[in-house]
Amino acid sequence: MSYAVASALQASVFARLQGDAALGALVGGDIYDALPTGTLPPIYVALGPETAKDAGDKSGAGAWHRFVVSVVTSKSGFQTAKDAAAAVSDALHGADLALTRGHLVGLWFERAKAKRESRGLRCIDLTFRARVEDDGAQ
């Protein structure tokens, strides 16, 4: 197994979301790897938890990564959150992301869960599955 590509994958996903015009039109620059302190905007996107599983074989090291991207809003109803979640999905599903280490074999949307949270927030957690290979592993 190689977890060495995890940082490169996260950086590329984050850059892809920040550079997506459709998502930017909905949430502006409010796309976070780590939430800022203070008052949060009425809608934002945040990178969330990740799990990785070995996918290496005799040809080299690799891994399956499952990661969550959350859309969170204090706006009433789910429509705004669903529009932003669709933009996240469009930006990532099937994307051909360049990584600074290793390479991305594929990136797929896996599932989403929309929920009401305390304090009147609405959240949509989108789970993606990525297959990476570590070209730098020996």
Whole-Å CA distances, 5 to 9, 50, 77: 6, 13, 38
The CATH architecture assigned to 6-134 reads: 2-Layer Sandwich (3.30)
pTM of the model: 0.92
Tokens of 96: 């051909």
The domain ranges of the chain are 6-134
| Residues ≥6 apart with Cβ < 8 Å to 125 | 48, 68, 69, 70, 112, 113, 115
Angstrom distance (rounded) from CA 83 to CA 23: 9
Q: What is the pLDDT along the chain (138 residues), one digit of tens a residue?
A: 578 899 999 999 999 999 999 999 999 999 999 988 999 999 999 999 999 998 877 677 889 999 999 999 998 889 999 999 999 999 999 999 999 999 999 999 999 999 998 778 999 999 999 999 998 654
